[in-house]
Structure 1
Amino acid sequence: MFRFENVGLRYGMGPEILRDISLHIPERSFQFLTGPSGAGKTTLLRLLFLALKPTRGLITVFGKDRALITRKELPHLRRRIGVVFQDFRLLDHMTTYENVALPLRIRGRDESSYRDDVIDLLKWVGLGERMHVLPPILSGGEKQRAAIARALIEQPEILLADEPTGNVDPPLARRLLRLFIELNRLGTAVVIATHDLQLMEQVDARRMILSEGRLDVHD
């Protein structure tokens, strides 16, 4: 799905934030991206989400050279990538249901074609009884699950999650992890950026360790 070969990234004329990054992410795989705060985990996720271009090196995305992907092609490719951001990015004036359905509304889908799918997904993440609640009323864990549901509504081939358990207690963190494991079992590749060692110890998965801009991969 993704292949990085000697990728480097810098902003402007500053020092390289990422240096000589080489990695591959196969279909249906599960991996953790870890490392100290400020190591560049979020920046690497932004490269995977096609929100940034590398300064040097080769990135291949779904068989396409990143450098040759046109602006017109980006929305189609991004729909194949689900993203859960640290700050959730839910819209406070929309209900949980409306937030999750938003990507489909933006694409111009008629509600009758997706309503049942959104409801089923909300039930799957444990928010079936909270679908008509506005985000300010939701707990942190409920907001996190709503953000996960929104990332999954277009049935992405890969899910990128940036510190998805960073603001929840250990029992909820384990519940969220079970959601990611089940999602992976159903065929979606998963990349979780986290510094939570206890979380990583619960899954036999590849660890990509980022430190001082360099990546070390442990299968």
Structure 2
Amino acid sequence: MVRFENVGLRYGMGAEILRDITFDIAPRTFQFLTGPSGAGKTTLLRLILLAMPPTRGLITLFGKDSQDLDKAEITALRRKVGVVFQDFRLLDHLTTYQNVALPLRVQEREEASYRAEVMELLRWVGLGDRMHVFPPVLSGGEKQRAAIARALIMRPQLLLADEPTGNVDPPLARRLMRLFLELHNSGTSVVIATHDLALMDQFDGARRLVLGDGRLHIYE
């Protein structure tokens, strides 16, 4: 599903911030991406999403070499990926419900075909009473949950989540993790970037991708 071969990244003429990154993500797998603050976790997620090119090395997504893809092809591949970044990227002029439903609207689906599913997902993430308000009214944790719901509504083949439980209380964090596990059990590969060791320790069988000093270490 994802393959990195000797990938390196630098900005300008500076030293490489990621060096010789080699790993793959198989279908139907669950992994944590961890490492100290500033290690490059978000950057690695952006590379997986093909949101930026590497300085060197090879990245393939769903079997496609990123170097051979034009913008339209990259856009088509990204539709298979659900993404939760820390800046949320909600549209302020749309309600919570409309933000979550947006990926379905882009596909020109009739609202009647997805209304109940969107409302149920919003209730699951604790936003059932906030679906008709606009993002500026939401708290940081509520925005985060809306972004998670939007990423999940398409049932993506691959989910990338950057600190998805960082702004919620422990009970809701456990509930969101159950949702990620359900998505994984239904066939989605999941990558969760986090520095929360206690959270990771609850999932002994999950693979860990550990970034440090620009290099990636893998613990099965």
Q: Measure, in 1, the Cα distance between the counterparts of 2:171 and 2:121.
A: 21
Are 1:82 and 1:159, in contact at CA under 8 Å, matched by a contact in 2? yes
Q: Measure, in 2, the Cα distance between the counterparts of 1:116 and 1:172.
A: 22
Are 1:7 and 1:22, in contact at CA under 8 Å, matched by a contact in 2? yes
Q: Measure, in 1, the Cα distance between the counterparts of 2:84 and 2:219.
A: 24
In structure 2, give the amino acid aligned to 1:213. G
Local SS of the residue matching 2:53: coil
Contiguous gaps of at least 5 residues in structure 1 = none
> Percent identical across equivalent pairs?
72
In structure 1, give the amino acid aligned to 2:23. L
Q: Measure, in 2, the Cα distance between the counterparts of 1:135 and 1:72.
A: 29
Deviations 1:169-207 (A, max 9, x none): 222222222221122112211100011111101112011
Q: Measure, in 1, the Cα distance between the counterparts of 2:193 and 2:150.
A: 18
Q: In structure 2, what is the equivalent of residue 71 of structure 1?
A: 71
TM-score normalized by the length of structure 1: 0.93
Deviations 1:146-167 (A, max 9, x none): 1111012222101100111222
Local SS of the residue matching 2:147: helix
Q: In structure 1, what is the equivalent of residue 191 of structure 2?
A: 191
Q: Measure, in 2, the Cα distance between the counterparts of 1:218 and 1:87.
A: 29
Q: Measure, in 2, the Cα distance between the counterparts of 1:187 and 1:126.
A: 24
Please report how far the alpha carbon of residue 107 of structure 1 lies from its aligned counterpart in structure 2 after TM superposition: 3.6
Q: In structure 1, what is the equivalent of residue 208 of structure 2?
A: 207
Of 141-150 and 170-179, deviating more is 170-179
In structure 1, give the amino acid aligned to 2:210. I
Q: Measure, in 1, the Cα distance between the counterparts of 2:108 and 2:98.
A: 14
Q: Does 1:9 align with 2:9?
A: yes
Q: In structure 2, what is the equivalent of residue 142 of structure 1?
A: 142
Local SS of the residue matching 1:86: coil
TM-score normalized by the length of structure 2: 0.93
Q: Measure, in 2, the Cα distance between the counterparts of 1:174 and 1:141.
A: 14
The number of equivalent residue pairs is 219
RMSD: 1.6
Deviations 1:24-60 (A, max 9, x none): 1111111000001111111100011110111111112
Q: Measure, in 2, the Cα distance between the counterparts of 1:117 and 1:13.
A: 48
Q: Measure, in 1, the Cα distance between the counterparts of 2:141 and 2:175.
A: 10
Q: Measure, in 2, the Cα distance between the counterparts of 1:127 and 1:63.
A: 37
Are 2:155 and 2:183, in contact at CA under 8 Å, matched by a contact in 1? no
Q: Measure, in 1, the Cα distance between the counterparts of 2:181 and 2:200.
A: 12
Q: In structure 2, what is the equivalent of residue 127 of structure 1?
A: 127
Q: What does 1:148-163 align with in structure 2 at a 5 Å threshold?
A: 148-163=148-163
Are 2:95 and 2:133, in contact at CA under 8 Å, matched by a contact in 1? yes
Are 1:207 and 1:218, in contact at CA under 8 Å, matched by a contact in 2? yes
Q: Measure, in 2, the Cα distance between the counterparts of 1:50 and 1:218.
A: 24
Please report how far the alpha carbon of residue 108 of structure 1 lies from its aligned counterpart in structure 2 after TM superposition: 3.4
Q: Measure, in 2, the Cα distance between the counterparts of 1:117 and 1:75.
A: 25
